[in-house]
Amino acid sequence: MRIEKIEMFSYQAPLSRPFAFSQWWFTKRSAFLVKIVLENGTEGWGEVYAHVQPSVYAGIIKEVLASIYLGQNVLHMDVLWERAYNRTRDYGQKGMVIHALSGLDIAAWDAAGKLLDQPVSVLLGGRNRERIEAYATGLYRTQTDDLPSALAEEAKDYVSAGFRVMKMKVGYGIDSDIENIRAVRDAAGAAVGLAIDANHAYDSATAISLGRRAHEYNILWFEEPVAPEDKIGYAEVRERQPIPVSGGEAEHTRYGFRDLLQARGVDISQPDLGGMGGISEGRKVVTLAGIFGIRSQPHVWGTAVAMAASLHVISWMPDVPGSANPVEPMLEWDQTEHPVRDLLTDLPSTEMPWVNVPDDPGLGITVNTDRAAKFLIDHSIIGIQDVAGYSSTVEQLH
């Protein structure tokens, strides 16, 4: 079934309360969604992991990627991905080109599932789990004179909401980090799992020092301790402090993850499907990590489209290592304000902290762009007729 049209939706929404992590402050949230439409009218939705002005991805898709996808058989997701990557590998091995490709790929999987009347998890090969435990991502810096107390109250709210695991931000200096970690641990209680995320704020020596001091607070994992390019630094942090190390949200494709895994830089691989290459590439990275004996747990920080894509991939993921009592992968559930996420689509059903994997075809979600219309800053459409010479420059896949 041919892809006839690609639509792109760029959103930005102001926040009622700014928040920060180790790198910068957020005063607004962005989202970039991709919809592909097949010749029979079937639609597929995808999402790009978007921090920058989201409409930049529309230009990449319209000028570079659309001619590769339009007119093609949507069921040939892997072939289309490889063609797009090969066409752009001289200048797009990482970063925004891969992000844009990720959104297209997720949309193709959603459309393929609807076309075949099957959930994406079934197309991947089946489900190892029907529901997935969610952990709360929050505990950012806010505009307060007493951050430890504010974080403690937030942690109590997550426990009351049913979360058994939460992740907090660090990267503000070791002493400040330890003060915040202590406050959150005391508030949440010893039975609650706690992870820390530095968002690559530290060099390896500082990250090692923090890991050694934070270990007494029973930390589940230490996320992005150093810059994503510093594979040796990742390995040093992993070897020289006791907390398991995770990373990968800023890595791209199986090639980038190969280098991170070969360096033995992480205990937990965290591909973001909206940024590292989509579902087609995400399943390869999960398989590659498993070869190295490393667990995967996708990073998610977007709307319910990104959440649904991750739910299906996590549902399919095998246990690493295989065991009667495995360490199950979890779903990252962003607790920060995101008006587009809340208005765009219905979230999957939950019995907190458990999230049920959608059973409907494709990603199993319903997108209603009218609910986010006031945050729309750009909407563009490109069809077969807009790609000059597509039929003569791209071999048709049937």
Q: Which positions are catalytic?
A: 299
- Beta pairing partners, 223: 197, 246
- Residue-wise burial string across 76-89, b where 16 or more C-beta atoms lie within 10 A, e elsewhere: ebeebbebbbeebe
Instruction: Report strand pairing: 245-247 vs 193-197.
Output: unpaired
Classified as helix, coil or strand, 73 is strand
Looking at residue 297, the DSSP 8-state letter turns out to be: -
Determine the 3-state secondary structure of 165 from DSSP: strand
Of the candidates 81, 77, 61, 85, the residue with the CA atom closest to the CA atom of residue 111: 77
Unique residue bearing structure tokens 């430890």: 148
| Structure tokens belonging to residue 221 | 């994992």
Structural element, H or E, at residue 305: helix 304-316
Are 363 and 347 in contact by the 8 Å Cβ rule? The answer is: no
Record the tokens describing residue 81, joined without a space: 């991905």
The residue assigned the tokens 């004179």 is 145
DSSP class of residue 261 equals H
